[in-house]
Copies of this chain bind each other. A is one copy, B any other.
Amino acid sequence: MNDRTDTRTGWLSIDELDLVRGRVPLVYVDAVPVQVDETGVVTHVGLLLRVKSDGTISRTVVSGRVLYGERVRDALLRHLDKDLGPVALPRLPTHPAPFTIIEYFPEPEVTGFHDPRQHAVSLAFVVPVDGDCQPSQDALDLAWLTPEEAVSAEVRREMTGGHDRLVRLALAHAGCLP
C-alpha cells in the first residue's frame, strides 16, 4: 500500500493523514491484476516487485486508499493506472461488490492481514488487464506468474502483510486455486 501520490496531491497532508489514521479505519482497494484467456479463465497473476518503506523488497498486488469524494471505481482505476501504467487497459468489474474484504490491522494477529501504519478495510477485486503494463512509481517490476507459481512457497515468502493469502483468495474466487 502506498499513499505518497495521494498525499502529494494536496487532498490531505501527511500530518492530517496521521491524525485520521489513529481514529477511523481507512477505506482501501486491493486489485489483483490477472491475464485471462478468451473464456475468462485466469492464466496469469500480476505481482509488483516493490521496495517497502523499511527498505525491504516484496511482491504486492495493486493497493491504495480511496480518497474523500472519490468513487471506489475511480480509486481502483487511479491505482491501477498508477501502478500498471496508462496503457494497461484494466477491465473494471461491472458489479460494485468486492469478491472479499481484507481487514488490515496494526496488530498482525487480529485477521492475519497486517499494516503497521493503520486500520484499513480494503475492498478486493480481481481485475483482468488486456494492455501493456509498465510498472511505474515505486514498483521495480511486474511479473506475470501462473496460478501454480503464484501460490508456490517461494513466492509466498516474498509477500508480506497477508498479501500471499489475498492472492490465494483471489485465485479461489476465480476457480483456479491449485
Binding site for B on A (CB under 8 A): 12, 16, 19-20, 22-27, 34, 36, 38-42, 65-74, 76-77, 91-101, 103, 105, 110-111, 119, 121, 123, 126, 128, 165, 168-169, 172-175, 177
Chain B residues with Cβ under 8 A from A40's Cβ? Answer: 73, 91-94
Which B residues are in CB contact (< 8 Å) with A72?
A: 101, 103, 121
Which 8 A-B residue pairs are closest in the complex by CB-CB distance?
A: A40-B92, A172-B172, A39-B73, A96-B175, A94-B174, A27-B121, A25-B27, A169-B172
A72, B72: Cα distance in complex, Å: 18
Contact B92 A91 (CB under 8 A): no
> Given the complex of chains A and B, what is the CA–CA distance between A68 and B175 in angstroms?
21
Say whether, besides A94-B128, A121-B27, A110 and B71 are in contact (CB < 8 Å): yes
Chain B nearest CB from A34 CB (Å) reads 6
Copy count, this protein chain: 4
In whole angstroms, what is the CA distance A38 to B27 when docked? 22
Q: Which of B20, B94, B123, B175 contacts A24 (CB 8 A)?
A: B20
Chain B minimum-CB-distance residue to A125: B40
Residues in B neighbouring A39, C-beta threshold 8 A: 71, 73-74, 76-77, 92
Across the interface, name the chain B residue whose C-beta is closest to A39. Answer: B73
Candidate in A72, A74, A126 with the most chain B CB atoms within 10 angstroms? A72
A92 to chain B, nearest CB (A): 3
Known A98-B98, A177-B172; contact A38-B68, beta-carbon cutoff 8 A? no
Complex: A67 Cα to B103 Cα, angstroms: 12
